[in-house]
């Protein structure tokens, strides 16, 4: 797990996360408050991208409790994996 740093109201995203998510200077991100923290994602390039990304996240959230990892880090990794897969889709 990587740690981001907050300074002067700005969040610094670790280099390994920027590489993995193909983030570049100037990319727009949006932040949402979620239970116990914050969810940050790249602003979708098209409406279709946005709908696919949100539907994938909602699919994870709607899964029965038994299908989710029991630890938070595992759950976060599962979300990250799902997001990576969504980005590969045409």
The 10s digit of each residue's pLDDT in 36-50 is: 888 888 776 677 767
- Counting residues of the chain whose pLDDT is more than 70, the rounded percentage is 78
> Looking at residues 65-75, what average pLDDT do you find?
63
What's the rounded Cα separation, in Å, for the pair 25 and 9? Answer: 17
CATH code linked to domain 1-43: 2.10.260
Instruction: Return the pLDDT at 43.
Output: 76
- The segment(s) of the chain belonging to CATH 2.10.260 are 1-43
């Amino acid at each position: 797990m990587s740690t981001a740093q907050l300074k002067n109201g700005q969040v610094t995203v670790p280099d390994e996360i920027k590489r993995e998510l193909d983030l570049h200077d100037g990319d727009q991100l949006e932040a949402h408050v979620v239970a116990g923290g914050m969810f940050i994602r790249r602003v979708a390039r098209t409406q279709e991208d946005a709908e696919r990304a949100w539907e994938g996240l909602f699919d994870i959230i709607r899964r029965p409790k038994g299908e989710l990892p029991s630890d938070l880090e595992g759950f976060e990794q599962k979300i990250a994996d799902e997001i990576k897969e969504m980005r590969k889709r045409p």
